[in-house]
């Protein structure tokens, strides 16, 4: 993705031992973790929230500039209502509870996804937390909530079509940059490294456009058990790879 802010973030991270500027994580395994311990699914999600706190702190200390966490996909509404309600409650609670901690660590929170699908109270809390942290200049923490990669591209296409209809853009001007500019959080660099936990090896409709040249690391650890050592292991693997972007 082009833009001075993206270039700056990549340059700053590159100065620190080839640390990826942007790490995205598909947090998978909460339910299996709970099931393995004969606990309800909510216990797994609560343990997953604790893992989020660990990984956010570790990422910031490592020098990562953007951390994106796939918290709730647009397909997750298909889960049992009780589980969805519990996830919404946990999301609300986490936004309130972690605000002070984000300030202490100079972290800016941004939400990526269709927040209109959430309750009015949760939408208000999201807006409040984003507003309260927008001046923080440390790591940017992006939470993908009610997000899907196909939906992201579809809404970008709708915005481009609107520009064409209004005469602000011609069909011949539609290119990769114009599409990228209409995606969620287009001002941020594409993810350098995408991690998925729990041993599954698929991207599940996550950042489909932005992941074109991302490096992938799939780890067997369930998300509630994921810690700073696992994060560093994934970064170590990333640093051993050569990124050619289609070249040699």
121 catalytic? Reply is: no
Phi, psi of 117 (to 5 degrees): -80, -10
Question: Residue 215 is encoded by which pair of tokens?
Answer: 């490096």
Which sequence spans correspond to the domains of the chain? 22-147+191-238
Summarize pLDDT for 179-220 with one digit per residue, the tens.
Answer: 999 999 899 999 999 999 999 999 999 999 999 999 999 999
Chain position carrying tokens 């509630």: 224
Q: Over 70: is that where the pLDDT of 237 sits?
A: yes
Question: Residue 119 is encoded by which pair of tokens?
Answer: 């309750």
The active-site residue out of 30, 31, 76, 190 is: 76
Summarize pLDDT for 63-96 with one digit per residue, the tens.
Answer: 999 999 999 999 999 999 999 999 999 999 999 9
Instruction: Answer for the pair 113, 74: CB distance below 8 angstroms, yes or no.
Output: yes
> For the chain, what is the radius of gyration of the CA atoms?
18
Indicate the burial class of 220 (C-beta count within 10 angstroms; 0-12, 13-18, 19 or more): exposed
Q: What percent of the chain has a predicted confidence (pLDDT) above 90?
A: 87
Residue count of the chain, please give it.
248
Domain 22-147+191-238 has CATH 3.40.50.11030: no
Cβ partners under 8 Å of residue 155, min gap 6: 182
pLDDT at 15: 44
The active-site residue out of 7, 18, 28, 187 is: 28
Q: Over 80: is that where the pLDDT of 4 sits?
A: no
152 catalytic? Reply is: no
Q: What pTM value is reported for the model?
A: 0.89
The Cα–Cα gap between 171 and 157 comes to 12
What three-state secondary structure class fits 27?
Answer: coil
């Amino acid at each position: 993705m082009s833009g001075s802010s993206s270039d700056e973030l990549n340059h700053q991270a590159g100065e620190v031992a080839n640390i990826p500027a942007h790490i995205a994580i598909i947090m998978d395994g909460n339910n299996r973790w709970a099931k393995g311990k004969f606990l309800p699914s909510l216990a797994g999600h609560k343990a997953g929230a604790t893992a989020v706190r660990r990984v956010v702190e570790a990422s910031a200390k490592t020098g990562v500039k953007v951390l994106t966490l796939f918290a709730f996909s647009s397909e997750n509404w298909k889960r049992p209502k009780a589980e969805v309600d519990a996830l919404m409650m946990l999301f609300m609670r986490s936004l309130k509870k972690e605000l002070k901690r984000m300030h202490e660590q100079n972290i800016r929170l941004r939400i990526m996804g269709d927040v209109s699908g959430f309750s009015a109270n949760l939408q208000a809390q999201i807006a409040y937390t984003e507003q309260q942290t927008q001046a923080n200049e440390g790591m940017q923490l992006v939470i993908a909530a009610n997000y899907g990669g196909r939906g992201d591209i579809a809404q970008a296409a709708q915005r481009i079509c609107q520009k064409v209809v209004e005469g602000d853009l011609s069909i011949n001007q539609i290119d990769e940059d114009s599409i990228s500019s209409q995606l969620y959080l287009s001002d941020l660099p594409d993810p350098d490294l995408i991690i998925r936990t729990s041993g599954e090896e698929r991207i599940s409709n996550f950042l489909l456009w932005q992941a074109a040249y991302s490096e992938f690391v799939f780890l067997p650890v369930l998300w509630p058990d994921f810690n700073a050592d696992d994060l560093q292991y994934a970064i170590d693997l990333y640093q051993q790879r050569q990124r050619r972007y289609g070249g040699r």
